[in-house]
């Protein structure tokens, strides 16, 4: 019997039980859709992280108080989290040899109010060098000055999101006075928009103010929550880290052999850590998706086994008029492969749709991999053959006389 006839018979058998066929394909659809969507999200996140880090500069260095105990470990007690002082920042400004820019960092979150409008955001206390380190630009207005820092001036720059939320009618924010809790802050500039980052966070949802203003007027603290810096060049990053570590250890009077009470991270380290985390999450999600494919395959085997039992008389009749065992085997294998490949096709469409939906509504970066689509088809075909083999073999090995007697 030729292949075309076998395909026709297989299609008729599938069409005769549409609902059962669809439910059989559902496991494959979910599995393939999951594989494509998870890979798209995983690869998109990885590339976006790399792009964001490259945009921020691979020579960026972050200094944080407390000792890093590793994933899941405590960073230290309250006193250790206050280990960075203004004196450390001033020492690094004066003595660090390999830094192009340096800025202290303190922050507070809360409601910002203008008239009847309010929006939740975060105010970052920084120095003008922060703009160079983070590669931010002032789109309208101007940056605050060193005099503003010395006097703890109540001035600020706002991101595009904050500007849109507080001034929805489109009026110019520059020169307006907004309030953070009960503290008035005069807007002197609007930061150029950067959009969402790889974690789906809005990079324009921020307010920048002199670090002295945030420390004294908002937080009432004398320590720094962090220090951000950038090395002269990417190649000098390691030298800069060693230099910073030596200066801070001297400032904190840490004896040789004792552990640091601060943590220094470079963008390169951050990239490696984030890539590793992203890869691990992608693998875990793929394992879950593959389990779904296996479950779908078992569903196909189960339904094909039921189909063989239901059609025992038909098989016996076909064998009695000359159909060979190989023809019966091929017929049921074709049915199995058709179910899995059709499920795979629908799964590809669903997976691409889900990935695009996540990108549009959740603002997560995605990158649909062409090889993941091809791999899905290959896996679907293999699933159909692997899980369809036993029922097909059982059908092909039936005795025609016994099959005709089957009730």
Same-domain check for residues 116 and 255 = yes
Look at residue 71 and tell me whether its pLDDT is greater than 90.
no
In DSSP terms, 124 is beta-bridged to: 107, 208
Q: What is the mean pLDDT of residues 74-98?
A: 82
Is 358 a member of any domain? yes
How far apart CA 206 and CA 187 sit, in angstroms, is 13
Q: What is the mean pLDDT of residues 86-104?
A: 93
CA distances from 272 to 53, 60, 308 (A): 11, 14, 53
Domain tally, the chain:
2
Same-domain check for residues 233 and 278 = no
Same-domain check for residues 120 and 253 = yes
Q: What is the mean pLDDT of residues 185-202?
A: 84
Look at residue 199 and tell me whether its pLDDT is greater than 70.
no
Same-domain check for residues 277 and 232 = no
Instruction: Count CB-CB contacts under 10 A for residue 328.
Output: 25
* Residues written for the chain: 407
Q: Which of 226, 260, 294 is the last residue of a domain?
A: 260
Domain range for 172: 84-260
Tokens of 406: 């089957």
Q: What is the mean pLDDT of residues 111-136?
A: 93
Is 397 a member of any domain? yes
Look at residue 27 and tell me whether its pLDDT is greater than 90.
no
Q: What is the mean pLDDT of residues 24-39?
A: 84
**Residue 269 region by backbone torsions, left for phi larger than 0, else alpha for psi between -120 and 50, else beta:** alpha
Is 135 a member of any domain? yes
Same-domain check for residues 225 and 278 = no
The residue written with tokens 């105010």 in the block is 123
pLDDT for 309-359, tens place per residue?
887 888 788 888 877 888 888 888 888 888 888 888 898 899 999 999 988
pLDDT at 80: 67
Alpha helices in 224-266 (DSSP H): 237-251
Tokens of 214: 């945030």
Is 78 a member of any domain? no
Same-domain check for residues 90 and 30 = no
Q: What is the mean pLDDT of residues 100-112?
A: 94
pLDDT for 232-285, tens place per residue?
888 888 899 999 999 999 998 988 888 888 999 887 777 777 777 777 877 887
**Measured at the alpha carbon of residue 19, what is the angle toward residues 8 and 310, in degrees to the nearest 5?**
65
Is 15 a member of any domain? yes
pLDDT at 73: 44
**Of all residues in the chain, what percent carry a pLDDT higher than 90?**
37
Q: Which of 197, 231, 260 is the last residue of a domain?
A: 260
Same-domain check for residues 25 and 115 = no
Same-domain check for residues 225 and 183 = yes
How far apart CA 207 and CA 18 sit, in angstroms, is 58
Look at residue 222 and tell me whether its pLDDT is greater than 50.
yes
Which H helix or E strand runs over 190? strand 183-191
Q: What is the mean pLDDT of residues 15-38?
A: 84
Q: Which of 207, 231, 260 is the last residue of a domain?
A: 260
Same-domain check for residues 125 and 183 = yes
Same-domain check for residues 100 and 218 = yes
Quote the mean pLDDT of the chain: 85
pLDDT at 72: 46
Is 382 a member of any domain? yes
Is 253 a member of any domain? yes
Count, in order, helices (H) and strands (E) of the chain. 13, 10
Same-domain check for residues 20 and 103 = no
Is 268 a member of any domain? no
Instruction: Count CB-CB contacts under 10 A for residue 195.
Output: 10
Q: What is the mean pLDDT of residues 381-399?
A: 82
Secondary structure of 290-329 as H, E, C letters: HHHHHHHHHHHHHHHHHHHHHCHHHHHHHHHCCCCHHHHH
Which H helix or E strand runs over 35? helix 18-56
CA distances from 193 to 42, 53, 56, 243 (A): 25, 17, 14, 34
Look at residue 200 and tell me whether its pLDDT is greater than 70.
no
pLDDT at 284: 80
Confidence band (pLDDT; 50, 70, 90) for 296?
A: confident
Same-domain check for residues 239 and 145 = yes
Tokens of 388: 């369809």
pTM listed for this prediction: 0.61
The residue written with tokens 């086994």 in the block is 305
Look at residue 75 and tell me whether its pLDDT is greater than 70.
no
Residues 6+ apart with CB under 8 A from 91: 247, 248, 251
């Amino acid at each position: 019997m030729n292949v075309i006839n076998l395909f026709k018979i297989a299609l008729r058998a599938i069409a005769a039980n549409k609902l059962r066929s669809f439910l059989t394909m559902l496991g494959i659809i979910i599995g393939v859709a999951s594989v494509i969507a998870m890979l798209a999200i995983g690869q998109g996140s990885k590339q976006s992280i790399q792009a964001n880090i490259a945009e921020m500069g691979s020579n960026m260095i972050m200094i944080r108080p407390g000792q890093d105990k590793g994933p899941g470990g405590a960073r230290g007690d309250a006193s250790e989290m206050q280990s960075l002082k203004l004196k450390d920042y001033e020492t690094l400004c004066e003595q660090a040899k390999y830094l192009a820019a340096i800025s202290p960092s303190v922050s507070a979150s809360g409601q910002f109010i203008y008239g009847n409008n309010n929006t939740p955001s975060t105010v970052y206390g920084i120095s003008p060098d922060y703009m160079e380190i983070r590669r931010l630009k002032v789109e309208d207005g101007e940056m605050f000055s060193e005099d503003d820092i010395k006097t703890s001036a109540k001035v600020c720059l706002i991101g595009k999101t904050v500007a849109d939320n507080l001034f929805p009618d489109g009026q110019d924010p520059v020169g307006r006075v907004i309030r953070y809790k009960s503290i008035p802050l005069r807007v002197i500039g609007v930061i150029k928009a950067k959009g969402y980052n790889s974690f789906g966070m809005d990079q324009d949802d921020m307010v920048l103010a002199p670090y002295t203003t945030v420390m004294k007027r908002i937080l009432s603290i004398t320590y720094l929550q962090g220090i951000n810096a950038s090395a002269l060049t990417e190649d000098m990053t390691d030298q800069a880290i060693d230099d910073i570590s030596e200066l801070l250890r001297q400032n904190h009077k840490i004896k040789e052999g004792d552990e640091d009470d601060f943590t220094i991270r470079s963008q390169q380290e951050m990239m490696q850590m984030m890539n590793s985390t992203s890869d691990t999450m992608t693998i875990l999600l793929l394992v879950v998706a593959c389990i779904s494919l296996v479950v779908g395959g078992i569903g196909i085997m189960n339904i094909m086994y039921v189909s063989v039992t239901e059609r025992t008389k038909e098989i016996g009749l076909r064998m009695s008029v000359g159909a060979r065992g190989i023809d019966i085997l091929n017929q049921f294998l074709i049915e199995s492969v058709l179910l899995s490949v059709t499920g795979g096709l629908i799964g590809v469409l669903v997976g691409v749709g889900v990935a695009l939906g996540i990108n549009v509504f959740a603002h997560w970066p995605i990158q649909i991999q062409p090889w993941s689509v091809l791999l899905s088809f290959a896996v679907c075909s293999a699933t159909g053959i692997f899980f369809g083999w036993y029922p097909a073999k059982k059908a092909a090995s039936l005795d025609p006389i016994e099959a005709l007697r089957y009730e």
